[in-house]
Amino acid sequence: MQRIAVVVALAACGVGQDTVDTVEVAFVAPAPGAALTRDQLDPLGALSAAVGVELAIAGEPARVALAVGDAELGDVGGDGRATAYVTTPGPVTLTATAFDAGGAALATASVDVVVTEPVVEDCRGWLALYGVAYTDGPERPGVTDPVTAMTPLNGLTFRTGGGTARTTMFGDCTLFKSLAEAAPLLRARGIVEVTDFGIYNYRCINNNGTPPDCPSGISQHAYGNAIDIAALTDIDGTTYTVETDWVIDPSSEETCSAPTEPGKDTFLHETICALKAAGVWNIILTPNYNAAHRDHFHVDLTADADFIRRTLSGADGH
């Protein structure tokens, strides 16, 4: 899902305190129609186009605000320079508006640019853009593109269900790309640590059989492209535990539209549904799914799948 970044690096406002008769603002940079590649990380770790903004400001407005699309990002400093991080590929409009001390708009200017996707050869190229450190392999059954990723991963630390801090994680490269994509959404909510019950496990769904002879299908964990998330911990040390803090929704209600209990239940619902809405993972199974998922979110990258709900048709992807 495409989105516009809500983070911008700006100098402190100091353009002036009093207005004069003539106030004008114009874009010096970027140039109209400039193509800018989404190949930098914003302060939260989202892959973005770092757009260098330079304004020519005449007069003495109280402040000059910069916006991307309809999202105001902040005030430009007295030198008229700022860096806007844009995560949305495609055409984007940057707007600068000068205001007087009473908040009335005095002048405005805009410029249209195009944000392009980076060109990478393979999944490893995405890991490089996200700054994910890894080593190749080891080769294990079921895993197409095996890597061992180092932590922290795009600003997130990981811990096992037993409480041990992870220094490495093994799985398919595509899973670590998805975790790198999830990181800025989690960090925007204050999350700095993920507790998980594991990634790679060469087994059948519901442990029914031995791969590749799986009557119910092979678990996505056998491919190294699934992770079971047990808890999230924020920068203040508050932990949101799926088993104890998620309130199971009535069977008649969809997971992402059901009413929630205030506090941790609401936080967990909003967070996992935001990750699904952003297209980070194809399948998400919550405690709403069945008793086997009461204590974790199962998330995976099953091809051609797209759901987060109580019941499924066919295999559960776990």
Using the 3D structure, point to which of 96, 116, 136 is the last residue of a domain: 116
Torsion angles phi and psi, residue 309, rounded to 5: -160, 180
What distance in Å separates the CA atoms of residue 152 and residue 157, rounded to the nearest whole number?
A: 5
Q: Quick one: 196 and 148 in the same domain?
A: yes
**What range defines the domain where residue 67 resides?**
8-116
* Number of domains comprising the chain: 2
Q: What is the CATH number of the domain that holds 241?
A: 3.30.1380
Q: Quick one: 249 and 154 in the same domain?
A: yes
Q: Quick one: 264 and 240 in the same domain?
A: yes
Q: Which residues contact 149 (CB under 8 A, 6 or more apart)?
A: 127, 132, 133, 134, 168, 169, 170, 171, 176, 179
In a domain, 2, yes or no: no
Indicate the SS3 state at residue 287: coil
Banded model confidence at residue 143, pLDDT cuts 50, 70, 90: very high
Using the 3D structure, point to which of 87, 116, 145 is the last residue of a domain: 116
Map tokens 């989690």 to a residue.
Answer: 186
Q: Quick one: 109 and 133 in the same domain?
A: no
Banded model confidence at residue 89, pLDDT cuts 50, 70, 90: very high
Q: Quick one: 127 and 96 in the same domain?
A: no
In a domain, 144, yes or no: yes
* Percent helix, percent strand, percent coil in the chain, to nearest 5: 15, 35, 45
Q: What is the CATH number of the domain that holds 72?
A: 2.60.40.10
In a domain, 308, yes or no: no
Q: Quick one: 240 and 162 in the same domain?
A: yes
Percent of the chain scoring above 90 in pLDDT:
81
Tell me the sheet residues that pair with 67.
72, 95
Give the pLDDT of residue 310: 53
In a domain, 213, yes or no: yes
Q: Quick one: 274 and 184 in the same domain?
A: yes
Give the pLDDT of residue 216: 86
Q: Tens of pLDDT along 13-43?
A: 444 444 446 999 999 999 999 999 999 999 9
Q: Quick one: 292 and 203 in the same domain?
A: yes
Q: Quick one: 105 and 155 in the same domain?
A: no
Q: Are 173 and 185 spatial neighbours (Cβ–Cβ below 8 Å)?
A: no
Tell me the sheet residues that pair with 227.
299
Among 186, 257, 270, 264, residue whose Cα is nearest residue 227: 186
In a domain, 148, yes or no: yes
Torsion angles phi and psi, residue 97, rounded to 5: -130, 130
In a domain, 307, yes or no: no
Give the pLDDT of residue 2: 33
Query: Strand ranges (DSSP E) for the chain?
Result: 8-10, 24-29, 35-37, 40-41, 47-58, 63-68, 71-75, 81-86, 90-99, 105-116, 134-136, 146-150, 157-160, 168-172, 191-198, 226-234, 239-241, 283-285, 297-300
In a domain, 306, yes or no: no
Q: Quick one: 73 and 161 in the same domain?
A: no
Q: Quick one: 93 and 208 in the same domain?
A: no
Q: Quick one: 89 and 169 in the same domain?
A: no
Using the 3D structure, point to which of 116, 149, 169 is the last residue of a domain: 116
In a domain, 43, yes or no: yes
